[in-house]
Structure 1
């Protein structure tokens, strides 16, 4: 029996690093178990701000991968403004008052000259290439995943030209994502983004989102079916590790300029001052890209000597940090726009057996999942006393070798279970 062929159009693919890669890498791994043959379409010469070659080993050897050349504006910009171009492409945008003239200029160009994003030049040549491939391979279903949301315009073009089923997967929202306001959009650009978002949401046959907040937002724009398929966790190969001897709080992933929980830094500074034993045992591990603004906040409050700045590591190495740390930090920007953000690392955190301290806006989807799975505690930015009590409680458990999480109901977030939900749409 021939498997049903599905074309997946994605920008991020190994050796790209970061959580955006793993979503479709894992779907491609498990869809064949449900009688689906995935064919993956990616750029031939992408400009990935982060790379993780360890993810190459997760690409199934039998999967067909088709590549199309792409012109990368970030690559050209890096020839003249290397540091600024690299930080913007990673999503790190300085506070408005601290932006240099170069950063302001690049943000304006990014927001107004490349709509919806800097990969829009890949759309037309990709449509031209894929029309022949879809006919040749007998493909009936196409999936586009964004960001970059310009990839949805490839789906839009293919839907217009061919009789295909098109599913649009939104790993993040489009016009309501937090950094959108920082792109210095003109009125024309804002209107154009809205128009394109509306066309995609009302032309695709099915829409997938990663959060319940985004689903509700999109249901106000379209009558098309919207399905929530979160990110998840996979079975990782066994890793050797020893639990940290210190009372480590670890944040794994990017800490952007506005993802800067000063209430947490204040709690830690006060605990260090008030408890001699805590000061001797405590260490803050920052694993991943961290903005200068965060480092300055830590320095001003007196935490610099307790910070272990690890920097970016491979996915394999990040798993080790998750398992050996005493407590895991999950931080989100305190804003209405970030209620829908469910970081991919949350699900790996949940199976690490380490308790999670999450700090973010009220009413977020992260809060819902952490409570449902009993994997930690979620705090708002106003919860100074509650955060302090929880860390002290964790410290007491650590001293008694009893600090561990007690999760429930995690199986539905396994990557294979999520692939089964996707299969039902296919």
Structure 2
């Protein structure tokens, strides 16, 4: 009988962006390795982007819970609305406002455990509050439990909680780290910080990066670009954590640069900035693209752009899009403050150049140097398959899988 895995992922397709993709590709990977996979996710979420093109493989059971996220009761997009709500949430809710889902999520997990049996639970965050429900059930039934952290649980400079909320968060973090069978994190900075914070538990904390899908890249077709221009693609969101203004300033001074923006402007400021810098003819806006179309744009551009705002706490940020950029094989331009993990990886892989925020002339110089060059020379280490191999070591099915793998290689 195949081993069973329950993945708890608040964000899951058809919701878009990288938070949904990690759970999606993990479920796909484990199902392809013979696991019996069930996913608990949400529906009715107030969210900025959806992608109906991503379909889970046959055989994966998906259970959707109604969410009590206060954001679902807000109308409209951007213009600071969610920024205000985010600040209020940090002062009221331990971890996040998704903690309101705790009772129904706990009941749903327990029902699956009783009805179907579960060998391993994987809970992936953000939002971190979902780990609380998983912890209760894993401890009650003695189930192997993997805590997957895409962001830090606490000590996150990007989230400022008040004293009482911060105390509760640190207390619950200690419980989570102690109770988990394994903690997987997506960045080296978070790995080091957690190991230093919990030295007696350091052996259970491991790095499992985000990745890209070779299969999806093979399906994606190149699209026509303006040959007389240098085509720069930015495939992400514009938010309080990004710096789109720096690249727009460079466009103003260099008419042969064209920015292809595929994503969502969560700030509602992009159109005003384009008008201010008079670069409307140098910016092509696609909106949020289906994943395959986004990969096609990556494969077709001359240069791929990542921007990170010059704000406190960015050193822990890698941005999951970086790994798909590696997979596209195109040079990467990073505009960010010094010391980010994204910069370390780009330099390690010799995949592009890193320039500081606001350095317009240096940004333009870097673009001209990168034009015509190749990107990451060894992207294979950043595939989802390579990253998720580690999950086989943290479940009970690894010996059987290794045996089958050896048999396949010998045939």
TM-score (norm 2): 0.86
Match of 2:409 in 1: none
Partner of 2:403: none
2:178 alignment partner in structure 1:
202
1:364/1:66 Cα in 2 relative to 1: closer, same or farther (>3 Å)?
A: same
Give 1:227's aligned residue.
206
Instruction: Give the CA deviation at 1:86.
Output: 9.2
**1:166 matched to 2:145:** yes
Match of 1:70 in 2: 67
- Counterpart for residue 394 of structure 2: 425
Task: Give the gaps of 5 or more residues in structure 1.
Answer: 94-102, 273-278, 398-402
In structure 1, distance between residues paired with 2:283 and 2:346: 26
**CA distance in structure 1 between the partners assigned to 2:108 and 2:285 by the alignment:** 44
Partner Cα distance (1:257, 1:85) in 2: 11
**1:284 aligned to 2:259?**
yes
Alignment of 1:373-384 (within 5 A): 373-381=349-357
Gaps of 5+ in 2: 396-411
CA deviation map 1:132-153 (0-9, x unaligned): 3213323121111111111111
CA contact (8 A) 1:257 1:292 kept: no
Q: 1:307 aligns with which of 280, 283, 308?
A: 283
Alignment size in residue pairs? 387
Q: Secondary structure at the match of 2:297?
A: helix
Contact 2:243 / 2:357 at 8 angstroms: preserved in 1? no
Give a deviation string over 1:107-137, Cα, whole Å, max 9, x none.
Answer: 4542233332222121122212322321332
- Counterpart contact for 1:353–1:404, Cα < 8 Å: no
After TM superposition, give the deviation of residue 269 of structure 1 in Å. 3.3
Report if aligned partners of 1:243, 1:323 keep a CA contact under 8 Å in 2: no
Check the 8 A contact 2:222/2:299 in 1, yes or no: no
Aligned match of 1:257 in 231, 235, 240?
240
2:284 and 2:251 map into 1 onto residues whose CA distance is 15
Matches within 5 A, 1:407-422: 407-422=376-391
The verdict on how the C-alpha distance between 1:205 and 1:162 changes in structure 2, with shifts beyond 3 A counting, is: same
Q: 1:244 aligned to 2:220? A: no
**Residue 326 (structure 1) shift:** 1.8
> After the TM superposition, which of the residue ranges 287-296 and 214-223 deviates more from structure 2?
287-296
Q: Per-residue displacement from partner, 1:278-306 (whole Å, max 9, x unpaired)?
A: x2x32222221222445544544443442
CA distance in 2, matches of 1:69, 1:231: 27
Instruction: Please give the alpha-carbon distance, in whole angstroms, between the structure 2 residues aligned to 1:262 and 1:47.
Output: 27
Deviation readout 1:186-217 (Å, 9 max, x if unpaired): 32222222222232223222111100001112
Per the TM alignment, residue 356 of structure 1 is displaced from its structure 2 partner at its CA by: 0.9
Q: 1:24 corresponds to which residue?
A: 23
Aligned 8 A contact 2:355 2:363 in 1:
yes
In the alignment, which of 274, 281, 299 is matched to residue 323 of structure 1? 299
Give the equivalent residue in structure 2 for 1:212. 188
Determine the C-alpha separation between the residues in 2 that align with 1:330 and 1:145. Answer: 24
Tell me, in whole angstroms, the C-alpha distance in 1 between the residues paired with 2:58 and 2:393.
25
Which of 319, 331, 336 lines up with 1:343 in the alignment?
319
- Cα distance in structure 2, aligned partners of 1:65 and 1:5: 14
Superposed, 1:345-384 pairs within 5 Å as 345-381=321-357
Q: CA deviation at 1:320?
A: 1.9
- 1: CA distance between counterparts of 2:88 and 2:108? 28
Compute the TM-score of the two structures, normalised by the length of structure 1. 0.83
Q: Cα RMSD over matched residues?
A: 2.5
2:252 corresponds in structure 1 to 269
Work out the CA distance in 2 between the residues paired with 1:314 and 1:157: 37
Find the aligned partners of 1:87 and 1:344 in 2 and give their Cα distance.
Answer: 25
**Alpha-carbon distance in 2 for matches of 1:163, 1:86:** 44
Alpha-carbon distance change, 67 to 307 in structure 1, aligned in 2, over 3 angstroms? closer
- Asked if structure 2 preserves the Cα contact closer than 8 Å seen for 1:110 and 1:118, the reply is yes
What is the rounded CA distance, in whole Å, between the counterparts of 1:27 and 1:64 in structure 2?
14
Aligned partners of 1:201 and 1:221 also within 8 Å: no
